[in-house]
């Protein structure tokens, strides 16, 4: 029987623990979410982050700026949040409007408040295996594997995708957990063949249902990071779930797999940033 890796259940148990730890704190923990413009997907993501904050007992601020704001004003906003003692975590929702340099904005965030784990200082610390704020989706994937009894040590891990947010950092975390890691991308030759080597396959490509029965080895553990709304309004991942479900050993559903874990890890990062004091 194929095991369904339930991200929703693990996320809600983590959130319950975080709620307890927040309740024991003397100080209010605060997350500031900066939105630039009105990208509809960003609006939905931000709403979900605010709801999660409410569940855990974290105060959330929504700083909503006009889409035509200058880089300078956005950077001023970030600097102000850096210096506010009542703000523990800062998240600038991506993507930013064209014309704004995302890297410059991320670098402006105080690394101690960088709850996305996107600042080069945090990425560098992660590469060195140091304690730091980790990117939420990759950290959520590792937590899902560990809590579902998947041993990474010595396993063939194949990551499809090389984004800064998911592909690169998840490959690094799998390596630190002693996996043998192969990173694939759009130029990889014989992608299906490489994927079939995987004991643990992470699909973070952004192509609906790319990974089908040709790409999986019997018994493999499949983590699907993609989430796509199709023309018929249904959601699907980067993995063709129905095609692989009777072959693989375990798989995350979409929705209800990686998505809820990303938010739970964001809440965990907010609590950590709060504990560290700023």
Compare residues 157 and 165 and give the one whose CB is closer to ligand GUN.
165
Per-residue contact string for residues 109-128; x = within reach of ligand GUN by CB under 6 A:
-------x------------
Q: Is 168 a catalytic residue?
A: no
Residue for token pair 């009542």: 86
227 is in an annotated binding site: yes
CB of 141 to ligand GUN, least distance (A): 13
| Numbers of helices and strands, H then E, in the chain | 10, 11
Q: Which residue is nearest to ligand GUN (CB)?
A: 94
Check: CB of residue 52 under 8 Å from CB of residue 259. Answer: no
Q: Is 116 a catalytic residue?
A: yes
How far apart are alpha carbons 50 and 54 in whole angstroms? 6
* Structure-token pair, residue 114: 């960088």
How far apart are alpha carbons 175 and 79 in whole angstroms? 35
Count of positions on this chain that bind ligand GUN (CB under 6 A): 7
Q: Is the peptide bond before 86 cis (omega within 30 degrees of 0)?
A: no
Binding to ligand GUN (CB under 6 A) within 72-101 occurs at 91-94
Identified catalytic residue from 88, 110, 114, 116: 116
CB of 108 to ligand GUN, least distance (A): 13
Check: CB of residue 248 under 8 Å from CB of residue 219. Answer: yes
Alpha helices (H) in 177-257, listed in sequence order:
191-195, 241-244
Q: Is 214 a catalytic residue?
A: no
* Structure-token pair, residue 159: 């990551």
How far apart are alpha carbons 263 and 31 in whole angstroms? 13
209 is in an annotated binding site: no
How far apart are alpha carbons 244 and 28 in whole angstroms? 45
Compare residues 36 and 174 and give the one whose CB is closer to ligand GUN.
36
CB of 150 to ligand GUN, least distance (A): 23
Check: CB of residue 134 under 8 Å from CB of residue 265. Answer: yes
Compare residues 6 and 39 and give the one whose CB is closer to ligand GUN.
39
CB of 136 to ligand GUN, least distance (A): 6
Residue 213 binds to ligand GUN (criterion: CB under 6 A): no
Residue for token pair 């923990």: 29
Per-residue contact string for residues 158-187; x = within reach of ligand GUN by CB under 6 A:
-------x----------------------
263 is in an annotated binding site: no
CB of 251 to ligand GUN, least distance (A): 22
How far apart are alpha carbons 274 and 125 in whole angstroms? 19
**Residues at the interface with ligand GUN (CB under 6 A):** 91-94, 116, 136, 165
**Residues designated catalytic:** 49, 93, 116
- Annotated binding-site members: 161-163, 227
């Amino acid at each position: 029987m194929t095991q369904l890796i339930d991200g929703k259940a693990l996320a809600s148990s983590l959130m319950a623990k975080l709620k307890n730890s927040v309740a024991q704190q003397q100080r209010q923990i605060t997350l500031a979410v900066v939105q630039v413009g009105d990208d509809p997907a960003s609006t939905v993501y931000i709403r979900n982050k605010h709801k999660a904050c409410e569940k855990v007992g974290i105060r959330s601020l929504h700083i909503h700026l006009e889409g035509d704001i200058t880089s300078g004003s956005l950077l001023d906003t970030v600097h102000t949040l850096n210096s506010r003692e009542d703000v523990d975590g800062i998240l600038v929702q991506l993507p930013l409007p064209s014309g704004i340099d995302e890297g410059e904005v991320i670098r402006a965030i105080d690394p101690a408040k960088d709850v996305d784990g996107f600042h080069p200082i945090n990425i560098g610390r992660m590469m060195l295996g140091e304690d730091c704020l980790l990117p939420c989706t990759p950290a959520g994937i590792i937590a899902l594997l560990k809590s579902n009894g998947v041993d990474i040590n010595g396993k063939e891990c194949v990551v499809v995708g090389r984004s800064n947010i998911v592909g690169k950092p998840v490959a690094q975390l799998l390596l630190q957990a002693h996996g043998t890691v192969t990173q694939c991308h759009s130029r990889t030759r014989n992608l299906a063949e490489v994927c079939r080597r995987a004991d643990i396959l992470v699909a973070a490509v952004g192509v609906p249902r790319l990974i089908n029965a040709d790409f999986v080895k019997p018994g493999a553990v499949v983590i699907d990071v993609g989430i796509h709304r199709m023309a018929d309004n249904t959601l699907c991942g980067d993995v063709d779930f129905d095609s692989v479900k009777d072959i693989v050993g375990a798989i995350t559903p979409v929705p209800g797999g990686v998505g809820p874990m990303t938010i739970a890890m964001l809440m965990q990062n907010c609590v950590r940033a709060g504990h560290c004091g700023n």
